[in-house]
Amino acid sequence: MLEQHVQGCIVVKRTNAGPNHIDGVLVIGGGYAGLHAADAVRRSHVPVTVVDRTGRHDFVTRLAAVAGGAAPEEDASRPLQAFIDNVVIDSVVTIGDGSITLSDGRTITADAVVVTAGSAPSRPPIDGIGHAHTLRSAEDAVELRESIASAPSVVIIGGGATGVQLAGAAAEAHPELTIHLVEAKPRLLEGMPEAFSSGARRILEGRGVHVHLGFDVERITTHGAVVDGSLLEGLVVWAGGFSALALEYGMPTSAGGRVLVDDALRVLNSNRTFAAGDIADHRNSAGDPLPMSAQVAVQAGTGAGRNAARAVRGEPVETVDLRQIGWVLDLSGRRGLAQVGTINLTAPGADLIPPLLHEAIDLKSLFEVGGVQALCYASASVRSLFTWPLALGHHAQLLLRERLVEQART
């Protein structure tokens, strides 16, 4: 017998004999990869449901600005239902071939599954690492924002994209704050072009950030971090890297903990489960590993979603060609770093362009997954651009009306 059972925001079909079943594709995670996967499935006219532990879409590339205090809290995330009709708010604990287990032990099956559960801050064996704050979700960003606002000094460990963007935002929003940025490598933003390292250092030091290169953190305490034998006092933020937790879900993983997929983004040894974004071990066509980035997550999510829809319809899946084309980083305060083709926009003056590119990419992504109405979820700085013409238009209307009233009076 089939009964209807309301679970979260959707209706799940439940049979007395078997587990719950969802028709179409079940996407785990509503981040960049998940939203684009769901959109690709929807465009293929196959039903899609997203299960996410928070029920919100985090704008992860905006989190450093929010946490640092350079952007408002509302920029951090939006409810997933703004983009997707069928949303289940729950945590997935295990993932099988076409099936998942939720936190309460219930199993749900679907015609196909796309896993896009992202990554989590790494936890290296540094004494006292538990004292450090991290930045990976909207919740982290809001919590960190409050802590930074009341701290006299901050020690950010990790000079990658997260640490550099956070230092830039915090220094821009709180010019009086002492900020230390500690990086073990000899340069900031390793893995990005050399010009990014010097550009980031110039912008950050221009805002008074103390950049320490080539130093490992020895110990973290409640008062700060011990670097080169001395205590750098302040609120400690660990921004030293992220790991995918694919093994926790019972999936086949690479040495880096990312789920192994074939060139159609199907999880190894499975027929109906695909994976995309930070959680998956993505490679370019030459077989080189691709970084954890929003750009790769969007491409892979779209490809995995399309292939999952094909699998549901019984069609052959297709190879998904992935690549990282350039980088765009926003360091707040209308400064940033970008690589477009062979051109680096990192020099003084040119560094004004990357924040605009960042906003343009954000708008494109919003438009793709939510159409015109999703543009209202643009960041506050873009919305303020929209409101300028509106405000001017309104002002012109008022002037015109005043003029007409005056003319009618005379």
Among residues 33, 115, 217, 225, the one that binds ligand FAD under rule CB under 6 A = 33
Q: Write each residue from 92 to 121 as x if it is in contact with ligand FAD (CB under 6 A), else as -, in one continuous string.
A: x-----------------------xxx---
| Options 40, 65, 161, 290; binder of ligand FAD; rule CB under 6 A | 161
Nearer to ligand FAD by Cβ, of 53 and 210: the residue is: 53
290 binds ligand FAD (CB under 6 A): no
**Residue 137 burial class via C-beta count within 10 angstroms: exposed 0-12, middle 13-18, buried 19 and up:** buried
Contact 231, 363 (CB under 8 A): no
Q: Which residues pair with 110 in a beta bridge?
A: 22
**Amino acid letter at 32?**
Y
Applying CB under 6 A, which part among 27-35, 149-157, 218-226, 366-374 lies near ligand FAD? 27-35
Interface with ligand FAD by CB under 6 A: which range of 38-46, 48-56, 364-372, 387-395? 48-56
Calpha distance 152→86 (Å, rounded)? 44
Say whether 364 sits in a helix, a strand or coil: helix
Residue in 49, 99, 101, 162 binding ligand FAD, rule: CB under 6 A: 162
Integer Cα distance of 288 and 261 in angstroms: 14
Q: What is the rounded end-to-end Cα distance, in angstroms, of the chain? A: 80
- The residue count for binding ligand FAD (CB under 6 A) is 35
60 binds ligand FAD (CB under 6 A): yes
Residue 81 is a binding residue for ligand FAD (CB under 6 A): no
CB of 210 to ligand FAD, least distance (A): 21
Q: Give the three-class secondary structure for 177.
A: coil
Q: Which span sits near ligand FAD by CB under 6 A: 30-38, 68-76, 213-221, 383-391?
A: 30-38
In the complex with ligand FAD, the residue whose CB is nearer, 233 or 248, is 248
Q: Residue 60 Cβ, how far from ligand FAD at the closest point, in Å?
A: 3
Question: How far apart are alpha carbons 390 and 222 in whole angstroms?
Answer: 49
By CB under 6 A, tell whether 277 contacts ligand FAD: yes
For ligand FAD, which is the closer residue by CB, 44 or 162?
A: 162
Q: Decide: is 39 part of the binding site for ligand FAD (CB under 6 A).
A: no
Nearer to ligand FAD, 100 or 227 (CB): 100
* Binding flag, residue 63, ligand FAD (CB under 6 A): yes
Q: Is 92 or 177 the residue whose CB approaches ligand FAD more closely?
A: 92
CB 181, CB 211: distance < 8 Å: yes
Token match 């532990």: residue?
A: 53
Cβ neighbours of residue 402 closer than 8 Å, sequence gap 6 or more = none
Place of tokens 């004292």: 131
Going by C-beta distance under 8 Å and a sequence separation of 6 or more, which residues neighbour residue 99? 19, 107, 108, 109, 110, 113
Binding mask 213-252 for ligand FAD (x = CB under 6 A): ----------------------------------------
Interface segment toward ligand FAD; rule CB under 6 A; list 68-76, 169-177, 266-274, 290-298: 290-298
Instruction: Confirm or reject binding of residue 41 to ligand FAD (CB under 6 A).
Output: no
Provide the greatest CA pair distance for the chain: 84
Q: What is the rounded distance in angstroms from the CA atom of residue 233 to the CA atom of residue 218?
A: 14
Q: How many residues does the chain have?
A: 410
Site for ligand FAD in 317-336 (CB under 6 A): 329
Q: Which residues touch 285 (CB under 8 Å, ≥6 apart)?
A: 321, 322, 323
Q: Give the C-alpha separation, 212 to 99, whole Å.
A: 47
Taking a C-beta distance cutoff of 8 angstroms, is the pair 128, 220 a contact? yes
Interaction site with ligand FAD (CB under 6 A):
28-34, 51-54, 58, 60-61, 63-64, 91-92, 116-118, 135-136, 161-162, 165, 277-279, 292-295, 297, 329
